[in-house]
Amino acid sequence: MPVTTQGSRPLVECESLVRIHQHGSVEVQALQGLDLVVGAGEMIAVVGPSGAGKSTLLSVLAGADLPTAGSVRVAGWDLTALSRAQRLAYRRDVVGFVRQQTARNLVQYLTARGNVELPLALAGRGPRARRARAVELLETVGVGHCADRLPSQMSGGEQQRTAIAVALANGPRLLLADEPTGELDSATAQEVFDTLRLAQHEAGVTVVVVTHDPAVSDQVERTVAVRDGRTSTEVLRRTEVAEDGASRVIAQEYAVMDRAGRVQVPREYREALALTRRVRLALEADRVSLLPDVVAR
């Protein structure tokens, strides 16, 4: 079982996830056997080049897209085997989603409070309880002053924080955010990131953020890199206190091994030693070495 930074039991477990999109006779493999475990209460960043499969992964975790093969469990829900009613319940109660485009997260003709009340109404909460919860949530994320404003009367950062309040309304276990700071300047991006952190710490929500923003990925304990539809590397960060009492963050990059023992060797390593199709593996006392196939040259 892969390590989660908090050592907690897993909330998200993806194993050998495959998602093939069919366009006429053309097949696009968006996910090609992706493995990912996220511990309950953990916050991770997912990074990777455009087209790597990050959005597809979030759609699968959101219950909006079905994998072609593989298994995915979130908070005990098997997302490959949900009835229509269960899928609706999962999307309403278990998972919250924040998108990059601030305008797409909120209903434009509803106030901030109206937006937060919407999922509460869909979950059958009465008007009084809805109002109280919406006001409380907006205050928690620092935009209580926007309760009666329309999205067009709020800044981008205020809209994204309202979107986080909407996503948290029904007390989800998992919060998914797809480039939530992509349209914001760095100071506002930090505020939005701090709000996600707040959701993690105060509400105990597990957070998965897809981001290109190094300022975000550098601040989480674990960054998972997705490449060609698979998890390629993970960076774990921990804070170490030196003898002089100063603390510093140590970041260590790991390759990820799947259950079948497959490891992706980074392109720079392959190019540096001209590793091609065949390599030699040597088991030593405390390591496994991977050597070029000299016979092939």
Q: State the residues that interact with ligand ADP by CB under 6 A.
A: 21, 23, 28, 30, 48, 50-56
**Of residues 35, 33, 45, the one with CA closest to residue 235:** 45
Q: Using alpha carbons, list the distances in angstroms from residue 91 to 18, 31, 274.
A: 21, 21, 47
Q: Which is nearer to ligand ADP, 179 or 221 (CB)?
A: 179
Is the separation of the CB atoms in 138 and 144 below 8 Å?
Answer: yes
**What is the identity of the amino acid at 235?**
V
Residue 2 or 53: the one with the smaller Cβ distance to ligand ADP is 53
* Residue number, 52 or 165, with CB nearest to ligand ADP: 52
Minimum distance, C-beta of residue 43 to ligand ADP, in the bound complex (Å) = 19
φ/ψ of 83, rounded to 5, equals -75, 170
Measure Cα distances from 173 to 161, 178, 202 in Å. Answer: 18, 17, 12
Smallest distance from ligand ADP to CB 258, Å:
19
Task: Return the closest-CA partner of residue 61 out of 70, 48, 49.
Answer: 70
Q: Closer CB to ligand ADP, residue 146 or residue 220?
A: 220
E-strand stretches of the chain: 10-23, 26-39, 43-47, 69-74, 77-78, 95-98, 174-178, 206-210, 222-227, 230-241, 247-255, 279-283, 288-292
Task: Please report how close the Cβ of residue 49 comes to ligand ADP at its closest, in angstroms.
Answer: 7
Instruction: Report yes or no: 67 and 124 within 8 Å, Cβ to Cβ.
Output: no
Residue corresponding to tokens 């505020």: 191
**Smallest separation, CB 52 to ligand ADP (Å):** 4
Write the burial class of residue 206 (CB in 10 Å: 0-12 exposed, 13-18 middle, 19+ buried): buried
What is the closest distance, in whole angstroms, from the C-beta atom of residue 230 to ligand ADP in the complex?
12
Measured from the CB atom, the residue of 161 and 230 that comes closer to ligand ADP is 230
Instruction: Report the alpha-carbon distance of residue 271 to residue 274 in Å, rounded.
Output: 5
Smallest gap from residue 37 Cβ to ligand ADP (A): 19
Q: In angstroms, what is the minimal distance from the CB of 131 to ligand ADP?
A: 37
* Minimum CB distance to ligand ADP smaller for 35 or for 191: 35
Closer CB to ligand ADP, residue 20 or residue 89? Answer: 20
Q: Which helix (H) or strand (E) holds 215?
A: helix 214-217
In the complex with ligand ADP, the residue whose CB is nearer, 27 or 136, is 27
Tell the smallest beta-carbon distance from residue 54 to ligand ADP (Å). 3
Residue corresponding to tokens 């909006």? 64
